Amino acid sequence: MYYVTLAGFSIYAIAAPHSIAGSWGGISLVIVAWVIRAIVTRSTGLRRTVFDLPLSLFFGWTVLSSIFSIEPRLSIPKLINVATLLMFYLAQAMLTRRLIIIVAVTLVISAAAGVLWGAGELILGRGVTVAGLSGESFLRTETPLREGDVVWRVNGRRVSSVAEIDAQIKATPASQRVRLSVISRGEHVEWPGPIVSETARGTASPSGITGGGPSHRFRASGWTRHYETFAEMLQIIGQLALGFALIHWLRRSENKRLSRAILATVAFLIIASGIVLTAMRTTLLAFVFGMLVTAWRATVSTRQRMVLAAVALVIVALGGLAVWRTRAGGALALQDPSASLRVQVAAIAARRTTLHPILGHGMDAVHAHWNEWGFPGKDMLDAHSTPIQIAFDRGLPALALWIWLMFTFWRAASQGEIRTRHETTAVHGFSLGVIGALAGFLASSLVNYNFGDSEVALLLWWMMAAVVVIAGPARKHEEPD
């Protein structure tokens, strides 16, 4: 079962920064190995941990909130997403220390590869810039599309020419809507588009677009279109790379393997540049915060800390340049429409928490009452804050339980890092990286609902399980001879 588990976790690690479907494919393989091993050995491999009580209470309160939700038909199905916490139990049952390091290194390599792909895409360009749009085009009359916008996907397919856009429109059945993925004023937006008529399908160029070539001003997203999730994953994985790099440098005289320190440093710098290219302001600052926390715990001299602080300043400066170049005017000063909308939605969600403070409104219940509850516009967004969103959806007790769980995670990770200081470089580097990853995640959670991203939640639960495994006795019998 070891090799099946290794294959499953490896698939998960390769896919995690890019694809939730691929991630679940790897996890499913680990589940099969777990079930078979449990039947053969008559043991689940689970152990009692400090996380059991806060985790079970948090999940139980979430179930209760969903049952008594304002819209239970929307909230109860959402519990499938909450079930990502089962990753914690699966991982702690099947992981060994050796597997933890293999998975962590694979995560770093996969994330770095995704960043390099995204950088290459920025160089080559994406989509079709709308240089002109005819007055008769149904894209002008029935969508917000205007000159200067970039159409990069139609009906879920990437396009690189006006001919490809027109072909996708013509391939859309009559009386159905064409779906557009557009970069507008520096933001990626998904528009349902207009209903395609037989008349439109019969014209030479139904889009009415005059192409201006590909755009080089967009937010990198690796192999996925979700740059927000991509940035959050890079933030966590980048801290793991930093942990490996720092400990390899600090203990290079002990290990005498300078190449590993160099490779870990290069991977960290590549991943950091990827966060810069996503132009995610809040995630970038959270990443730097996690860096500084890691540096404070790992380094022993003021000079070493100053070097890392200088690196952090460079990353912030490059990130500011990326935001200024890529996003809408005023984004650098938080005066763009995106920032003001985020503040407005968060403020309304926080105020409404007082109306249902115990069980909340119910997950996704807002989708049926968006404007009725005072939220602006037609695009339904989350509260862009994990604490506010949890309180709004599940009530203040759920928020208190989440804080308890995160505090327990921080304490366990901190104690684990101290205990591993005299262990192997890889184990200590990973333990240190988890400290930075959790610090960055929590900082970002204040202004992003990162806990609501399944990809991010899975990685969080995996790290929590890894902390448990590293703190426990080694499982040598589970590894091949």
- Give the pLDDT score at 256: 65
4, two tokens: 């099946």
What does R_g of the chain's alpha carbons equal in angstroms?
24
Q: What is the spatial distance between Cα 151 and Cα 52, in angstroms, rounded to a whole number?
A: 48
Q: What is the spatial distance between Cα 455 and Cα 84, in angstroms, rounded to a whole number?
A: 9
Report the CATH superfamily, name and number, of domain 126-211: PDZ domain (2.30.42.10)
Q: What is the spatial distance between Cα 66 and Cα 360, in angstroms, rounded to a whole number?
A: 9
- DSSP assignment, residue 480? -
- Give the pLDDT score at 246: 93
| Cβ neighbours of 455 (radius 10 Å) | 23
Query: Which residues of the chain fall short of a pLDDT of 50?
Result: 476-477, 480-481
Provide the angle, in degrees to the nearest 10, between the axes of the packed helices 425-445 and 396-419.
Answer: 160
Q: What is the spatial distance between Cα 224 and Cα 265, in angstroms, rounded to a whole number?
A: 25
- Give the pLDDT score at 457: 95
Tell me the three-class secondary structure of 348-393, residue by residue: HHHHHHCCCCCCCCCCCHHHHCCCCCCCCCCCCCCCCCHHHHHHHH
Q: What is the spatial distance between Cα 389 and Cα 448, in angstroms, rounded to a whole number?
A: 9
Among residues 41, 15, 40, 17, which one has the least CA distance to residue 28? 15
The domain limits of the chain are 51-121+224-478, 126-211
Environment class of 179 (CB within 10 Å of its CB; exposed 0-12, middle 13-18, buried 19+): middle
- DSSP assignment, residue 224? S
Rounded to an integer, what is the distance from CA 480 to the centroid of its chain? 33
Q: What is the reported pTM? A: 0.90
Torsion of CA 262, 276, 432, 290, to 10 degrees: 150
- Give the pLDDT score at 479: 54
Is the Cβ–Cβ distance between 109 and 238 less than 8 Å? no
- Give the pLDDT score at 255: 64
Among residues 4, 458, 474, 413, which one has the least CA distance to residue 237? 458
- Partners of residue 211 on adjacent β-strands: 130
Q: In the chain, what are the helix, strand and coil shares in percent, each to the nearest 5?
A: 65, 5, 30
Q: How many residues does the chain have?
A: 481
Distances (CA, A) of 258 to 131, 250, 265, 301, 466: 51, 11, 11, 20, 26
- Give the pLDDT score at 477: 45
